[in-house]
């Protein structure tokens, strides 16, 4: 199996996890043969765990695509000095292939490909290579070394996933984990969410099975607030319509057209003054808006003074706001917070902005309000179709909203889609996993149980 004396592997610290990838005809023999595992332990003087996989799945396609884009120079150089096939694979091919798979291939998976579990990740929001990269950067090799012995190279990543998914998984916003899923994962210890809102996950069921559920609470507010300002400006200044006009070929220079209400001196209401609401209020200070907010818990008077923002009762905020921005989590009490009744209480000709959770808004009610002229516009980065935990979840955004480019502006859930932010989120999720591996309580926990 090995290219040379197995004793060369003694430099790997602590426990070795050996992934064997035979063809299907040999898999049963190897899986049932503990002699190889015992032999490796005796030779290496280390604990060895052996696992086998013949699953191909979608990974083979991405692996093959990555192979096609490798630089042949280091491969030829390895062969020129007499390197074996395994040495060539290990030192000249894999270092090129994995970064390509991590940076390119997996991000092309569709968000609704929920059935996959790759490298411990469910779904494909950012997929597991984010966390694997972060674990590597955090010197995960000090906890456990992974030795990959490649017999059938194209199935390499699938085999690794068979081990990792039993111990921990990383999840993203498009994923959904329920009681039935957890029952199929008896060895699961921690679910690390690369997210802040966790309404798609059954945390109570996790607690009952003594599975930690962790989130990243501190990193998503700033980039989401930044995007919210973009939604607000684009909708308020009719920028999408302007872009369409320029691209149509009909634009011949300035004309008195596409006038709007603008933002200066307008009244803007913020619903919910948690981390996202606070981050948004800070960023709106330079727009010369009249700022108000509603939250059951008031801000400190000093902060209200600095941000020039005033707390109003809920109904008053609805009535007075030209622009209403939603910044609440999805809970039973906030489900369809903006419905036919509450939208009717809004100021005629006002705008609604939703960067928080799709099901906080009844999209059909919004569509009807825009059609009647009561709402001037709707901007959103999130949609009801994304809320997987709902048994009555709609499977598409209402076509009446999608087709109304003059009164809507949408982005595809880009709230935290910033390179450095995503890196930091993956790193924090990895830290939570490592803390559980080390027998500690994870810092990002949202559930509690007696261990």
Alpha-carbon distance of 187 to 182, in angstroms, equals 9
- 0.85 cut: is pTM over it? no
CA distance readout (Å), 63 to 60, 96, 107, 201, 447: 5, 11, 14, 31, 37
pLDDT of residue 199: 84
| Active-site annotation holds for 303 | no
Alpha-carbon distance of 148 to 96, in angstroms, equals 16
pLDDT of residue 396: 93
Q: Of 426, 428, 434, 424, which Cα lies nearest the Cα of 144?
A: 434
Structure tokens at 66: 């990555």
pLDDT of residue 182: 84
Alpha-carbon distance of 197 to 356, in angstroms, equals 9
Given the residues 357, 363, 384, 428, the one annotated as active site: 357
Domain spans in the chain, listed from the N-terminal domain onward: 6-58+109-218+421-437, 221-410
| Active-site annotation holds for 413 | yes
Strand pairing report for 121-122 and 117-118? antiparallel
Helix (H) / strand (E) element for 213: namely: strand 212-214
pLDDT of residue 7: 44
pLDDT of residue 218: 85
DSSP for 28-52 reads HHHHH--HHHHHHHHHHTS-EEEEE
Given the residues 130, 363, 384, 386, the one annotated as active site: 386
Given the residues 165, 170, 413, 428, the one annotated as active site: 413
Contacts of 34 (CB under 8 A, 6+ apart): 50
Q: Measured at the alpha carbon of residue 359, what is the angle toward residues 383 and 428, in degrees to the nearest 5? A: 75
| Active-site annotation holds for 386 | yes
Residue 99 phi/psi, 5° resolution?
Answer: -60, -35
Residue-wise pLDDT tens digits, 214-238: 998 889 999 999 999 999 999 999 9
* CATH of the structural domain 221-410, one choice from 3.40.47.10, 3.40.50.300, 3.40.50.720, 3.40.50.920: 3.40.50.720
Alpha-carbon Rg for the chain, nearest whole angstrom, is 26
What count of Cα atoms within 13 Å lies in the side-chain half-sphere of residue 222?
9
**Can you list the residues of the chain whose pLDDT is less than 50?**
1-33, 51-62, 101-165
């Amino acid at each position: 199996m090995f290219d040379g004396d197995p004793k060369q592997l003694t430099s790997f610290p602590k426990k070795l996890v050996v992934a064997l990838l035979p063809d299907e005809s040999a898999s049963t023999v190897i899986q049932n043969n503990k002699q190889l595992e015992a032999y490796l332990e005796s030779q290496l003087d280390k604990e060895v765990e052996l696992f086998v996989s013949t699953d191909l799945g979608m990974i083979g396609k991405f692996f093959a695509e990555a192979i096609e884009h490798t630089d042949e120079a280091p491969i030829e150089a390895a062969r020129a000095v007499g390197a074996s096939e395994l040495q060539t694979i290990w030192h000249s091919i894999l270092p090129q292939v994995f970064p390509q798979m991590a940076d390119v291939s997996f991000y092309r998976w569709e968000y609704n490909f929920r059935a996959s579990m790759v490298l411990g990740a469910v779904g494909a929001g950012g997929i597991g290579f984010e966390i694997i990269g972060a674990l590597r950067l955090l010197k995960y090799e000090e906890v456990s070394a992974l030795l990959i012995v490649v017999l059938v190279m194209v199935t390499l990543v699938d085999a690794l996933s068979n081990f990792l998914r039993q111990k921990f998984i990383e999840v993203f916003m498009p994923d959904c984990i329920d009681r039935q899923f957890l029952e199929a994962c008896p060895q699961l210890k921690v679910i690390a969410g690369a997210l802040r809102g966790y309404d798609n996950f059954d945390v109570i069921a996790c607690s009952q099975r003594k599975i930690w559920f962790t989130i990243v609470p501190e990193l998503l507010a700033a980039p989401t607030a930044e995007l919210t300002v973009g939604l607000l400006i684009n909708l308020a200044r009719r920028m999408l319509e302007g872009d369409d006009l320029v691209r149509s070929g009909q634009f011949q220079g300035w004309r008195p057209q596409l006038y709007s209400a603008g933002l200066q001196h307008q009244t803007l209401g913020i619903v919910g003054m948690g981390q996202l609401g606070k981050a948004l209020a800070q960023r709106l200070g330079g727009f010369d808006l009249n700022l108000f907010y509603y939250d059951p818990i008031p801000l400190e008077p000093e902060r209200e003074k600095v941000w020039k923002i005033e707390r109003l009762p809920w109904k008053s905020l609805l009535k007075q706001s030209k622009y209403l921005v939603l910044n609440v989590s999805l809970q039973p009490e906030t489900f369809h917070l903006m419905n036919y009744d509450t939208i009717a209480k809004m100021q005629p000709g006002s705008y609604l902005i939703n960067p928080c959770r799709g099901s906080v808004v009844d999209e059909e009610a919004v569509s009807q309000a825009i059609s009647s002229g009561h709402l001037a516009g709707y901007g959103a980065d999130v949609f009801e179709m994304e809320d997987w935990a709902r048994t009555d979840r709609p499977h598409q955004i209402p076509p009446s909203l999608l087709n109304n480019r003059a009164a809507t502006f949408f982005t595809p859930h880009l709230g935290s889609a910033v390179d450095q932010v995503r890196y930091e989120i993956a790193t924090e999720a990895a830290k939570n996993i490592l803390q559980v591996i080390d027998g500690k309580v994870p810092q990002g926990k949202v559930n509690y149980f007696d261990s």
